Amino acid sequence: MMEELRVWIDELSHTAGLEGTQVIMATDTVLVVFTLLLSWLSYVVCHRLVLPLTVKITEKTAARWDDVLLNDRNMRKACMIAPAIVIWMFIPHIFFRMPDVEMLLERITAIYITMASTKLLLGIVNSMKMLDSDVQSTRRQYLHTFCGVLKITILFLSVIVIVAIIINRSPLTLLAGLGATSAILMLVFKDTISGLVAGIRLTSNDMLHKGDWITVEKAGVNGVVEEITLTTVKVRNFDNTIVTITPQTLVDDSFQNWKAMQEGEGRRVTRCIYIDVHSICRTSPTLLHNLTAQGYIGEGCLLNSDDARAHPVNLSLFRLYIDRMLATHPDINPDMTYMVRQLPATPTGLPVELYFFLHQKQWKPYENQKDEIMEAVYASVADFGLRIYQRSSSYAPEGAFQQSSTIKNK
């Protein structure tokens, strides 16, 4: 076709009275203009005809993957490749008399085609991340990591092809030569490779998801995961600071993921009350009368007279009362473990631990409910004749030491 067009243009040039070099310049100029017009026409056809037709076909199909991969943005990137291919095909037919110019234009066009194709492939890879709409699903996280690896591979091969075009060598030859420098590449990209492997382990083993609340004490992390990439994990702490750590840090060291708590039926509370051992004693008739008068013992109460006879020690009655309070409290989940137990005695008193789970898991309401329960427990300690151990300090209120010594003397 180009040869027939060239002959036809030559005949027109001679008819117009042009001779020698003028005929060659006129023919080449017309062919260049014709090639540019043809490349522009190919872009218009792709943009105005192929693109809308492809989008309409994908919208009518039941499959979702074609809507994601063949979206409008990716199709526009594909339309930018067609004109360059037309120009690359016609360059040898136009500049065959000028080998140096032909070689230069072919290489420039080939580099552009490679870069445009790379941009298209990267767009398709980015679209692949949307194949799974569940942000926190394991498959989406794994797909995100796989897409990251694929993008690195595409960029690496693209660079190899561009270098091969510039130096006029086969890309396979360059790839074969890279085997000798693999040790150097492994040393230079050691951190990147280790982060890549760690990221794959995190996502493939379902260890971490976007939106998880994690705690890493060594790295000062206590917040929600905002982004997971091949080499970094971004966490927004609850003070709104952003902490960036490597996946390798999470794999090598232990970290706490609160996802199971957030999705579970309750959030745990563990608190200790330190009882002054000097206040532990057997219940006297006066103490039992006071407990009955204050509504701790009696009909319809958490404790009854049988409990008082079976547990004659005031601390035993206190533990039994708190245990039954935890079982009946509306904010506490009775289907999960709850208990009141003694821990080994310490120089600061006898620890009595409360262990239970609240229905509420959101931070502020959880803290409020937990504090209300503990405040009620602290308020009931003195009613059982017990005292909470509290070390005296130099900044205690005036008269506190006298009051403490008075209580001990009693």
| Distance of alpha carbon 229 from alpha carbon 147, whole angstroms | 10
Q: Retrieve residue 298's tokens.
A: 């009696």
- How many of the other CB atoms lie within 10 Å of CB of 338? 21
Residue 250 one-letter amino acid: L
Using 50, 70 and 90 to split pLDDT, how confident is the model at 65?
Answer: confident
pLDDT value at residue 207: 79
What φ, ψ does residue 360 adopt, rounded to 5°? Answer: -75, 135
> H-type helices in 215-313, by residue range?
247-252, 259-263, 285-293, 305-310
pLDDT value at residue 406: 37
Return mean pLDDT, the chain.
80
| Distance of alpha carbon 270 from alpha carbon 352, whole angstroms | 10
Rg (CA), the chain: 39
Which of 28-32, 51-55, 363-367, 384-388 has the weakest average pLDDT? 28-32
Which residue, chain included where needed, has tokens 């194949």?
A: 131
Is pLDDT above 80 for 195?
Answer: no
Q: Quick one: DSSP state of residue 238? A: T
Please write down the HEC assignment for all residues of 129-195: HHHCCCCCCHHHHHHHHHHHHHHHHHHHHHHHHHHHHHHCCCHHHHHHHHHHHHHHHHHHCHHHHHH
pTM of the model: 0.50
Is pLDDT above 80 for 137?
Answer: no
Using 50, 70 and 90 to split pLDDT, how confident is the model at 177?
Answer: low
DSSP class per residue in 58-125? HHHSS-SHHHHHT-HHHHHHHHTTHHHHHHHHHHHHHSTT-HHHHHHHHHHHHHHHHHHHHHHHHHHH
Top mean pLDDT of 30-34, 136-140, 148-152, 340-344 is at: 340-344
Grouping H, G, I as helix, E, B as strand and the rest as coil, residue 40 is helix
Q: In this structure, are residues 389 and 275 in contact, taking their beta carbons and an 8 Å threshold?
A: yes
| Mean pLDDT confidence for 277-301 | 91
Strand order in the sheet with 267-275: 267-275, 350-358, 339-342
Of the two residues 265 and 379, the one the predictor is more confident about is 379
| Mean pLDDT confidence for 163-192 | 72
